[in-house]
């Protein structure tokens, strides 16, 4: 098997493998990788993504990056784990084994060649692989990786609308009912989204954040994803004035709550609860099976000390219903002295937070 740099692989060939992989999801696509580089362009991240070929056929695509976090080199983007390789489904057992060995050996080579300390890998929870009932443990631990406790919240949209509504908290329901009497909801997808409409979303996003935190190019990427059918934008308006938005990524009948913003004027009732509920109904109507609301934080852990804001946001998202699911995230160290230092730092932080709250 051969390793080929991503620059020698067409986007069409790359995406074809993802579309036909149980392990593949939107996070593997070059569109998303390019977005990561755009929003992290001040960081000196290297793109080492590659494909694995069996003879002349591409059988796996492998996002891979080198970043520096707190002066420590890692294979990954800042605090975002690297997606585990997306391998074509239907390959023979022997071919899959060879591909796994090729993948992990190349990671080792990259790590030692570039003096990298560690890597974090993640299998997307919305991938077909993770939706199978037979997948009850993190498979990466079979390859000398250590499991990292990460959770996410997923809403099963295959349930009836009545059940989905009943699973929402009492407080959220009340907010939805109030907002429903005030706002008009507009649905923007590949059939009707214009640049003029999208600029209103950009402007409100900047206003909500208090400053411009994203480049024009990153918003252009968001716009193009909607045009390609990989995302939708929902708007809450009052008298033709935009009050709030949610942006949802959609791929392989699975959706991810990517972004939300609203007018911070306290005179306006928050439209956020209504926008998410309307997103749930829209996705269900369009045969999307699952909606991932995002990482769940319950408190400090040995690996990551959640902030109060992250815990509150997690509770807000869980209150829309669904189930809390393990995310297959693993890490591996290539540098023993740095491993010792990082584990000591993690232990100190965990002790400090638990002692002082």
Arithmetic mean of pLDDT, 35-54: 92
Domains and CATH numbers, the chain: 2-128 (3.40.630.30), 155-325 (3.40.630.30)
pLDDT at 94 over 60: yes
pTM of the model: 0.91
Judge whether 179 and 271 are in contact, CB under 8 Å.
yes
Q: At 185, which helix (H) or strand (E)?
A: strand 184-188
Q: What torsion, rounded to 10 degrees, do the Cα atoms 30, 32, 34, 39 define? A: -170
Residue pLDDT, tens place only, 104-149? 999 999 999 999 999 999 999 999 888 765 556 788 888 889 888 8
Buried b (16+ CB within 10 A) or exposed e, 206-218: ebeeeeeebeeeb
Arithmetic mean of pLDDT, 257-262: 93
Judge whether 141 and 330 are in contact, CB under 8 Å.
yes
pLDDT of 67: 92
């Amino acid at each position: 098997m051969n390793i080929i740099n991503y620059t020698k692989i067409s986007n069409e060939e790359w995406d074809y493998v993802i579309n036909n992989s149980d392990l593949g999801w939107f996070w593997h696509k070059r569109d998303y990788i390019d977005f990561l580089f755009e929003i992290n362009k001040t960081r000196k991240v290297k793109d080492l993504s590659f494909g694995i070929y069996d003879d002349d056929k591409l059988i796996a695509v492998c996002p891979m990056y080198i970043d520096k976090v707190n002066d420590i080199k890692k294979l990954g983007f800042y605090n975002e784990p690297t997606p585990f390789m997306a391998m074509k489904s239907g390959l023979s057992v022997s071919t899959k084994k060879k591909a796994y060995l090729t993948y992990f050996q190349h990671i080792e080579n990259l790590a030692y060649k570039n003096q990298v300390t560690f890597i974090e890998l993640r299998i997307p929870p919305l991938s077909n692989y993770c939706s199978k009932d037979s997948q009850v443990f993190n498979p990466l631990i079979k390859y000398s990786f250590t499991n990292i406790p990460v959770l996410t919240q997923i809403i099963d949209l295959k349930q009836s609308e009545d059940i989905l509504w009943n699973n929402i908290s009492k407080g959220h329901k009340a907010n939805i009912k109030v907002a429903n009497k005030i706002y008009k909801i507009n649905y923007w997808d590949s059939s009707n989204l214009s640049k003029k409409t999208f600029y209103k979303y950009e402007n409100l996003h900047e206003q909500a954040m208090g400053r411009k935190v994203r480049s024009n190019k990153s918003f252009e990427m968001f716009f193009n994803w909607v045009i390609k059918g990989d995302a939708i934008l929902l708007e809450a308006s009052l008298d033709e004035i935009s009050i709030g938005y949610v942006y949802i990524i959609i791929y392989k009948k699975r959706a991810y709550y990517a972004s939300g913003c609203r007018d911070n004027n306290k005179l306006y009732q928050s439209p956020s609860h209504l926008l998410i509920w309307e997103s749930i109904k829209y996705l269900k109507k369009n045969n999307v099976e699952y909606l991932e609301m995002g990482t769940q934080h319950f408190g400090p852990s040995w690996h990551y000390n959640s902030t109060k804001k992250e815990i509150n946001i997690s509770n807000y998202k869980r209150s829309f219903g669904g189930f809390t699911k393990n995310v297959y995230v693993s890490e591996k160290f290539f540098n023993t002295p740095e491993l010792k230092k990082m584990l000591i730092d993690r232990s100190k932080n965990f002790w400090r937070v638990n002692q002082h709250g």
